Amino acid sequence: MIPYGRQDITQADIDAVVAVLKSDYLTQGPATPRFEDAVASYCGAPHSVAVNSATSALHIACLALELGPGDLLWTSPNSFVASANCALYCGAQVDFVDIDPKTYNMDVEALKEKLYVAERTGTVPKVLVPVHFAGQSCDMSEIRGLAQRYGFAIIEDASHAIGGRYRDEPIGSCRYSDVTVFSFHPVKIVTAGEGGVALCRDPQLAERMRRFRSHGITRDPAAFQQCAGGAWYYEQQDLGFNYRMTDIQAALGYSQMARLDQFVTRRNQLASAYDLALDHLPLTLPWCGPKCLSSFHLYVVQINESASGVTRDQVFHNLREAGVGVNVHYIPIHTQPYYRRLGFDLGICPQAERYATQALTIPLFPEMTAEQQETVTSRLGDALS
Ligand SMILES: *Cc1c(COP(=O)(O)O)cnc(C)c1O
């Protein structure tokens, strides 16, 4: 089976992990801040907090922004469930803004309309989580303008998008947001085995995220609320978690960061090759906006049944049978049984729901060979003819 995504591990990556195993620190020693600094300096954001997953990063970002019961978080339905679950972890409520049928990202016009209504009904969100789907940035300068007008905070879920750019700056600069979150799961652009990073510009926000990462504990005497004891003394000031990244993970992530630009270049080459090879087929191909460089975490095509005479489900089945590991990103979050039980109805995000019946993710990963890519395009052509 040609997988839809796959990590790229070199001997240098392996050596970096082995070196940690032979060192004094397995968890949060020197490798973790080194990795944090590498991600921060690549993206041009001053503060960086590494954790054990992007899910944890979203959670501590929400906590640090003081999202809690009675508050609302809005996100895109076309995402992994973690983009919404982070609100529920904090006791807040979630709602969804429909997607733009061209970029599959949160639709800024739909957001404007929803905010206009929300202002009148007292339901403006405290936090907005735009998701840079497949590696292409949302229109962050527009969203930033709305945040200033309506007074909400922004967490960019850039789990797909490290190495991508928006308006000539790296995604993760936090120029348009309070926090940006990356995932280092093996199918993503850069891997740490598992892992996440939250970037931000506000030092106090970074400090709060660091506390939530480690049980709500601080060891900084300047921050103590009670009288310090001896050198053993620490204070738990919030209810935090154990979301720490290990040095084993951080060493792998750090070693991989050196190849980030290569990964993104290769992914863009493969995407361009798909654009050419699939142009004549009855498919909707990815559309990239002029202000964006996508990291191409995913290459998604849409199968238009009326043009091709076959359904997405038939194409999906044929390709899997032919050894091509296609996938679907995403089942709209609000249509999941758990979210249906919370009261979300079908039909509330019609663009995301229609897209989800037509979308097909085809394989794309840096080590994909020209031969594998030809197999994918010819099998896809067969399935559509
Ligand atoms: C993968 C992913 C996450 C969760 O990342 P983990 O590191 O697996 O927790 C969150 N949001 C999006 C959009 C993702 O693709």
Residue 161's pLDDT is what?
A: 98
Q: What pLDDT sits at residue 6? A: 92
The response to whether residue 160 sits with its C-beta less than 6 Å from ligand 1 reads yes
Q: Which helix (H) or strand (E) holds 158?
A: none
In this prediction, residues 182-189 reach a mean pLDDT of 97
297 CA: nearest ligand 1 atom: 15
Residue 296 scores a pLDDT above 90: yes
Is residue 196 within 6 Å of ligand 1 at its C-beta?
A: yes
Does residue 117 carry a pLDDT above 80?
yes
pLDDT of 385 above 90: no
Strands 165-166 and 292-293: antiparallel
Give the pair of three-digit tokens for residue 279.
């142009």
Pocket lining: 82 vs ligand 1, CB cutoff 6 Å = yes
Query: What are the pLDDT digits (tens) for 38-95?
Result: 999 999 999 999 999 999 999 999 999 999 999 999 999 999 999 999 999 999 999 9
- pLDDT, tens digit, for every residue of 258-280? 999 999 999 999 999 999 999 99
Q: Which atom of ligand 1 is nearest to the CA of 83?
A: 11
> What is the side-by-side order of every strand in the sheet holding 359-362?
283-284, 299-303, 359-362
Averaged pLDDT for residues 322-328:
97
pLDDT tier at 28, thresholds 50, 70, 90: confident
Is the model's pLDDT at 228 over the cut of 80?
Answer: no
Ligand 1 within 6 A of CB of 74 = no
- CA 330 to centroid of ligand 1, rounded, Å: 12
Comparing CA positions, the residue from 281, 253, 292 lying closest to residue 168 is 292
Model confidence at 164, pLDDT cuts 50, 70, 90, reads very high
**What is the value of pTM for the model shown?**
0.98
Q: In whole angstroms, what is the distance from residue 310 CA to residue 287 CA? A: 22
- Rounded to the nearest whole angstrom, what is the distance from the C-alpha of residue 22 to the centroid of ligand 1? 30
Dist. CA 238–CA 12, nearest whole Å: 39
If pLDDT is split at 50, 70 and 90, which confidence band does 202 have? very high
Q: Ligand 1 pocket test: which of 183, 191, 194 has the largest number of ligand atoms within 8 Å of its C-beta?
A: 183
